Structure 1
């Protein structure tokens, strides 16, 4: 299994992300799988540093057989007063807070794409990361990729909250 994708960029302070739906090191429920519900998980975050001016939330699978991983969700310019997302907020018909912007996932669709590891590729890790950002807004082209967001976050992240649920092709429903 590949290393932590954030490890090589240097440490930043950590804060806490929790969820009613997914948990660190635990399999993702069918509701949050691509072909079995495709519903974004509920998330809450706390303990972020003073000076946080906005947040970004990303979900990335570094174990996808692509060489670059697979981006499942990328939301940025989340106001600092927002410290949670309801279940389904990033799914079709979901509701994002005013000002928050979602980028297209790897399927070229705006919003959340559920876990869907291909058969024969083993257990995948899904890095659910909330980034505390030092600027009110990142001025990205709305057609930017989540990788471009990640590049910009590298220079603007004050702290990170990380949770890593898992999924495999043959996980039970």
Structure 2
């Protein structure tokens, strides 16, 4: 596992609470959150998430999952959702398949919209999967269905009020 934290380069913002019944912060992802290519029992289900304590003035949310340990110069985006209404404070396990009205699921780095579970290369070591909920100051970010997670991240740099994080780990021997 590497020490690189992609969020350390962004402007600091306050934290808020993020919990999950699917994963523990620092814990190993279950087969539910793993891609079938990374584990024979992988189910590709996005984790259950609940958040609270975000700042007043929050007008929407975005959710991302990023693997900074992927063997690329740019990491690997497993999940990117924009424009989650401010009234929504949780997503069920597998919720990437039934997002709330108005939410926009972008293509992950595997090339399809929605969640792609962990699938690090065999023998590459432990990878971190940073699940982040971003509280934003606008109800709709300036992204469309063809935007990449990097474009979403660029928009988030200017609209994030606070950030909540949980990191799961996974390794294929």
Same fold (TM over 0.5): yes
How many pairs does the alignment contain? 167
- Give the equivalent residue in structure 1 for 2:11: 10
**1:82 is matched with which residue: 63, 88, 102?**
88
TM-score between both structures, scaled by the size of structure 2: 0.94
* 8 A contact 1:16–1:45 mirrored in 2: yes
1:72 is aligned to 2:73:
no
Instruction: Provide the C-alpha distance between the structure 2 equivalents of 1:7 and 1:79, rounded to a whole number of angstroms.
Output: 27
* 8 A contact 1:2–1:63 mirrored in 2: no
**What is the CA distance between 1:136 and its match in structure 2?**
1.0
CA RMSD of aligned residues (A): 0.8
- Give the equivalent residue in structure 1 for 2:168: 165
Structure 2: gaps of 5 or more residues? 37-41
**2:153 is matched with which residue: 147, 150, 154?**
150
Instruction: Provide the C-alpha distance between the structure 2 equivalents of 1:166 and 1:139, rounded to a whole number of angstroms.
Output: 31
Which whole-Å deviations, capped at 9, do the CAs of 1:82-114 have from their partners, x for residues lacking one?
Answer: 000011111xxx211000000000111110000
Instruction: Provide the C-alpha distance between the structure 2 equivalents of 1:78 and 1:8, rounded to a whole number of angstroms.
Output: 25
Structure 1: gaps of 5 or more residues? none
**1:58 is matched with which residue: 43, 60, 64?**
64
- Give the equivalent residue in structure 1 for 2:118: 115
TM-score between both structures, scaled by the size of structure 1: 0.94
